[in-house]
A and B are shown apart, each in its own frame.
Chain A
Amino acid sequence: MKLSRGEKLFDWVNILVLTILTLFFLVPFLSVVSTSLVSGREYALRGLFILYPYQPVLNSYEMLLGQGSIVINAYFVTTARVIVGTALGLIFTFPLAYVLSKRRLYARVPITMFIFFTMLFHGGLIPNFVLIEKLGLLDSFWSMILPNLINPWWLLIMRNFMLAIPEELEEAAIMDGASPLVVLVRVYLPLSMPVIATIGLWYAVMHWNYWFDAAIYINDPKKLPLQLILRGILEYGTGQYSDYSGLAEMTELTDPPPAESLKAAMIVITTLPILMIYPFIQRYFVRGIMLGSIKG
């Protein structure tokens, strides 16, 4: 089909508008990346937020990631949080999703309502804080894991996925003498792998990014995850962590990076793992939206 002039014009305007929008989404982050590479000397000459530095330097990164730095420590905390949180999240979510997908289950609907209600109503900030306090979890690693064990939305998505697995498979396995546990592990677990991978990734990204729980439950800087160290540096600069070697050496550098470059570098450090797995994230998250719309 030959395009008319109007059609061609439409296409070009459309591409132009979308290009501008794409820049709007992308440029803020890119400019942070370039700021993180500006040296103190170049800053003195040209100011910050240079489109690209003439002499990009890694001073900021060297400082933040020095030996014994609080940032390295926080990386380990966050990594532990992601691994433990995702593993336990799946270990708790998968069995319950499986149980709720059994149509024959007595009281299935009341149990589902019991879970669903928690999505509409919750105790709120203060009672949650009091609970963590009373459980003795303040300043504990587990205060970031236990309250987030199961995300009810994701649980129901997983259940919806498993509802689509034909019940005849279970009947056939039982005919062959399989126990309920074997049915779960040998039949349903392999078939549910797509949804388990998707929701596992959601838990992982959630744990990597989430910060507010640690902000109210954890005081000890050594136990703080990366997001909180980032927040501290963004709002108060690096000075507060000067007790931790690595950052302290900034004063000894011949060309100390400007404060804004340090902040920018910290943003990049915190986001890098997300960027590295972004292709997977994109695929699985978008697929997840489709999974959610599978009819029960």
Chain B
Amino acid sequence: MQQPLGEQIRVRMDQDGPVFTDKRGFREAWRQIKRDRFLYALAALPLLYFIIFRYLPMVGLIIAFQDYDPFLGIGAMFSLDNFVGFKHFTNFFDSIFFWNVVRNTVLISFYKLLFGFPLPIILALLINEVRITLFQRTVQTISYLPHFFSMVVAAGIVRAMLTPQGGLLNQAIVAFGGEAQAFLTDPALFRSILVTMDVWQQAGWNSIIFLAAMATINPEMYEAAAMDGANRFQRMWYVTLPSISFAIVIILIFRIGGMLDAGFEQILLLYSPSVYSVSDIIDTYVYRAGLIGRQYSFGAAVGLFKSVLALGLMYLANKVAQYLGQEGLW
């Protein structure tokens, strides 16, 4: 259950700690480290976790530039004989899969953004206008329930809805005189299913941040607007929306920054060969070609290609956020 980068939390690098560079400074630094040795001891084991499980895989990315053989020892990973330069990258760029997976990644992300981004805002606006507290709470509580289903459960529910063996949707279609459809294997519908499922699972949850922003609006603004004769719609449009525009813009920028994550787990659980042409994204391709197909070096190269692009996008997103006067992520 990873939170989209920058969606909800901002990291603050406040007040730099002391850093010394000259000779006397080193002695002073050492004195401070000795003074706080208890703290460094506390941090040692957790930091070791980051080194082993977060940084070692980055070192392991060198296999992207080799013909790595999983049956050889670790030594082979650092021997110069195996290096092949950018072979795997050019192979990927030249392959028939390249444009397909890049296009699918960007398109699926784009559609999810197109529908999945405005809906939580609309939902929050509607919930915010409800005057009956009990109804308001109930709607909210139910709206984020799907967020807490595991991806396997959520995909299972979608399968159950869509199965031609008496799924709810097909039952309805048959009841109205139509013919049952195999939705999940239809390339024309598959992306729509992904987007709908994404909205169903995340819209309620994503509305929370907007509701929180709305809760901070000064009620006097509404009173003043009402005094000037603004109706409910006008108050939503001229008071509520401008007041949360800051949250809207920032969240939009960081969602664009995270565009290359098009929903790996979701797609992996729902797709099948008949819809690969419209659903195979970079991540699923790495999984199939790299891991299942045991082309570790090739898979690592494709993965690295994506990670570097994603880092660049996120960097840009942060720059834009800073340009707009926000503090950005870092």
Tell me the smallest distance from the CB of B36 to a CB of chain A, in Å: 6
Residues of B contacting A124 in the complex (Cβ-Cβ under 8 angstroms): 57, 61, 286, 300, 303-304, 306-307
A105 CA to B41 CA in the complex, in Å?
13
A98 close to chain B: CB less than 8 A: yes
A129 CA to B50 CA in the complex, in Å?
16
A109 CA to B144 CA in the complex, in Å?
36
* B121-166 contacts to A (CB < 8 Å): 123, 126-127, 129-132, 135, 138-139, 141-146, 148-153, 155-161, 163, 165-166
Q: Cβ of B17 and Cβ of A103 under 8 Å apart?
A: yes
Q: A99-B43, A156-B11, A289-B209 are in contact. Are A25 and B146 (CB under 8 A)?
A: yes
Q: Cβ of B49 and Cβ of A149 under 8 Å apart?
A: yes
Q: Which of A121, A160, A231, A266 touches B58 (beta carbons < 8 Å)?
A: A121
Q: A96-B47, A289-B208, A293-B9 are in contact. Are A271 and B153 (CB under 8 A)?
A: yes
Q: A10-B232, A22-B139, A292-B8 are in contact. Are A96 and B42 (CB under 8 A)?
A: yes
B328 close to chain A: CB less than 8 A: no
Residues of B contacting A208 in the complex (Cβ-Cβ under 8 angstroms): 150
Q: Cβ of A26 and Cβ of B145 under 8 Å apart?
A: yes
Q: Cβ of A212 and Cβ of B311 under 8 Å apart?
A: no
* B263-294 contacts to A (CB < 8 Å): 265, 268-269, 283, 286-287, 290-291
Residues of A contacting B146 in the complex (Cβ-Cβ under 8 angstroms): 25, 28-29
A131 CA to B149 CA in the complex, in Å?
29
B305-328: CB near A (< 8 Å → 1, else 0) gives 011001100100000000000000
B218 close to chain A: CB less than 8 A: no
A175 CA to B238 CA in the complex, in Å?
55
B116 close to chain A: CB less than 8 A: no
Q: Cβ of A130 and Cβ of B60 under 8 Å apart?
A: yes
Size class of the contact patch on chain A: 35 or more
Residues of B contacting A259 in the complex (Cβ-Cβ under 8 angstroms): 165
Q: A106-B33, A131-B53, A260-B160 are in contact. Are A286 and B46 (CB under 8 A)?
A: no
Q: Cβ of B29 and Cβ of A14 under 8 Å apart?
A: no
B19 close to chain A: CB less than 8 A: yes
Q: Cβ of B233 and Cβ of A126 under 8 Å apart?
A: no
Q: Cβ of A105 and Cβ of B39 under 8 Å apart?
A: yes
> Chain B at the A interface: mostly helix, strand, loop or mixed?
helix
* B2-38 contacts to A (CB < 8 Å): 3, 5, 8-19, 29, 32-33, 36, 38
Q: Cβ of A180 and Cβ of B39 under 8 Å apart?
A: yes
Q: A116-B11, A125-B287, A160-B12 are in contact. Are A104 and B17 (CB under 8 A)?
A: yes
Q: Cβ of A10 and Cβ of B1 under 8 Å apart?
A: no
A47 close to chain B: CB less than 8 A: yes
Residues of A contacting B32 in the complex (Cβ-Cβ under 8 angstroms): 104, 106
Q: Cβ of B50 and Cβ of A150 under 8 Å apart?
A: yes
Residues of A contacting B150 in the complex (Cβ-Cβ under 8 angstroms): 208-211, 227, 270-271
Residues of B contacting A296 in the complex (Cβ-Cβ under 8 angstroms): 12, 14
B46-70: CB near A (< 8 Å → 1, else 0) gives 1101101111111111010000101
* A211-233 contacts to B (CB < 8 Å): 211-212, 216, 227-228, 230-231
Q: Which of A26, A104, A146 touches B142 (beta carbons < 8 Å)?
A: A26
Tell me the smallest distance from the CB of B60 to a CB of chain A, in Å: 3
Minimum CB distance partner of A286 in chain B: B208
Q: Which of B36, B47, B135, B290 touches A106 (beta carbons < 8 Å)?
A: B36
In the complex, identify which listed stretch (A53-61, A190-198, A245-253, A274-282) lies at the interface while the others stay far away: A274-282
A45 close to chain B: CB less than 8 A: no
Q: Cβ of B8 and Cβ of A96 under 8 Å apart?
A: no
Tell me the smallest distance from the CB of A241 to a CB of chain B, in Å: 16
A113 CA to B12 CA in the complex, in Å?
11
Tell me the smallest distance from the CB of A70 to a CB of chain B, in Å: 16
A86 close to chain B: CB less than 8 A: no
Residues of A contacting B204 in the complex (Cβ-Cβ under 8 angstroms): 25
> Chain A at the B interface: mostly helix, strand, loop or mixed?
helix
Q: Cβ of A106 and Cβ of B54 under 8 Å apart?
A: no
Q: Cβ of A103 and Cβ of B61 under 8 Å apart?
A: no
Q: Cβ of A290 and Cβ of B42 under 8 Å apart?
A: no
* A107-144 contacts to B (CB < 8 Å): 107-109, 111-116, 118-131, 133-134
Minimum CB distance partner of A95 in chain B: B42
A31 CA to B157 CA in the complex, in Å?
9
Residues of B contacting A52 in the complex (Cβ-Cβ under 8 angstroms): none
Q: Cβ of B231 and Cβ of A126 under 8 Å apart?
A: no
A42 CA to B327 CA in the complex, in Å?
61
A22 CA to B127 CA in the complex, in Å?
11
Q: Cβ of A230 and Cβ of B286 under 8 Å apart?
A: no
Q: A47-B171, A267-B157, A271-B149 are in contact. Are A21 and B45 (CB under 8 A)?
A: no
Q: Show the binding face of A for B, using Cβ within 8 Å.
A: 6-7, 10-11, 14-15, 17-18, 21-22, 24-29, 31-32, 35, 47-49, 92-93, 95-96, 98-100, 102-109, 111-116, 118-131, 133-134, 146-147, 149-150, 153, 156-157, 160, 180-181, 184, 202, 205-206, 208-212, 216, 227-228, 230-231, 234, 259-260, 263-264, 266-267, 270-271, 274, 278, 281-282, 285-286, 289-290, 292-293, 295-296
**Between-chain CB contacts (< 8 Å), 6 pairs:** A14-B129, A99-B39, A102-B39, A120-B5, A126-B291, A211-B150
Q: Show the binding face of B for A, using Cβ within 8 Å.
A: 1, 3, 5, 8-19, 29, 32-33, 36, 38-40, 42-43, 45-47, 49-50, 52-61, 63, 68, 70, 74, 123, 126-127, 129-132, 135, 138-139, 141-146, 148-153, 155-161, 163, 165-168, 171, 200, 203-204, 208-209, 212, 231-233, 265, 268-269, 283, 286-287, 290-291, 296, 299-300, 303-304, 306-307, 310-311, 314, 330
